[in-house]
Amino acid sequence: MRRKLPQPISRRSVVGALATLPALWAEARAGDARLPAQLFHRDPPPPASAAEVLDVMSFEPLARAALPPAHFGYLATGVDDDRTVARNHDAFAHYEIRSRRFADLDRLDTSCTVFGVRWPSPLYLSAVSGMRAFHPEGEAAVARAARTRATQLMLSTGSSVAPEEVAGARAAPLWQQLYPTDDWRVTEAVVRRAEGAGSTAIALTVDGAAEPRVNETLKRAMLSDNRQCGACHMNNQHDMWRKAPMFAGLDVSGVTRLRPASLTPEYLDRLRRLVRGRLVIKGVVTGEDATLALEHGADALVVSNHGGRNEETLRATIDCLPEVVAAVRGRIPVLIDGGFRRGTDVFKALALGATAAGIGRPQAWGLAAFGQAGVEAVVDILNRELGVIMRQAGTATIADITAARVMRAAG
């Protein structure tokens, strides 16, 4: 028996089908007083995989659901009222993008070059400590995601996975974030171990002078967690130098804090002599400090306020960026982190003079929700959104994203 082939859809058949809708609608609503929005509503199913997550911010509630309260609180906390945390992202709304309509967009190129290395996009994974608190594989899973996406990884001194293992998972040079402690012998040992693991840059964190931090959100989260911290933290101690693999085998008996009580130009000179590769200064938010860091050997700067975790200044990093860029005058790269949640955020930072943008909390959200695949999805979403806004703005390359492409919002 010959199978009857389906007939092509014609305009007449579509119009005829539409004509039946009122009758079907009346039948569906018979005896039901609900409005259409109620009648046909269903709660959207939760994402079953990282690929189903629509945007970066949607990973945050998934991470909250996947983590114990104290661990999510550690990730979310800022200082005092957490207003600097919020301001970091909200401040991107202060800047509007000026789109040009006449441009050759046949080929879009999101690549950039940092320290002579070509990156596929101006995005990197910034340092986040203790990531096994968010997923059993911790920084190793993040490193594998960085490998599959050819994305630079900055590893925290407080990594919960040894630097050698992370470097092996990344299969490319790391950048090592540095908490130098207040014991120079430990500083030397940490730098040498990082360099031995293949790190080509040491990123000294210079914020966080105040101790202890007033992390109220974290403390509230700990009170709502019914687990005992001592089950995971030996003797209930949270000091990084007592538990992070980076410090394994070192004599840390003289360490009392993660950084010297005073960071001086002389300290920068001393560290510059110690570091064999690139020296990055992370945490600069003023033009004066940018100039000083440059004069004392910095190879790059990161405009950062530690994601609002260390200080309640209410200055968003995107608002700090222009004065740092002006002080540097193109002599060294200026990177930035803090509050990046959209590709448009990255675009605005590039237009204001940043070389690249780092993401912190979002990679941890992705990790907590879906492991390596979650981190990969976060990177993919941001890169995809960056490509979209580049086309919308008429910028075919990263070099086309200049200060003329953004303007300060009125009011």
Catalytic residue IDs: 306
d(CA 198, CA 44): 45
| 48 vs 200: CA distance, rounded Å | 38
DSSP strands (E only) in 5-151: 95-97, 112-114, 117-119, 123-125
The span from the CA of 265 to the CA of 395, in Å, is 40
The residue among 57, 76, 84 whose CA lies nearest residue 222 is 76
Q: How far apart are CA 194 and CA 172, in angstroms?
A: 13
Rounded Cα distance between 230 and 359, Å, is: 31
Phi, psi angles (nearest 5°) of residue 63: -65, -40
- Give the DSSP per-residue string, 257-269: SSS-S---HHHHH
Query: CA 25 → CA 20, 36, 218, distances in Å?
Result: 9, 10, 52
> How far is Cα 220 from Cα 198, in angstroms, rounded to an integer?
39
* DSSP H helices in 20-96: 21-29, 36-39, 59-66, 69-76, 83-90
Q: How far is CA 324 from the centre of its chain?
A: 20
Neighbouring-strand partners of residue 280 = 203, 300
* Phi, psi for residue 259 in degrees, rounded to 5: -150, 160
Q: How many CA atoms lie within 13 A of 309 on its CB side?
A: 20
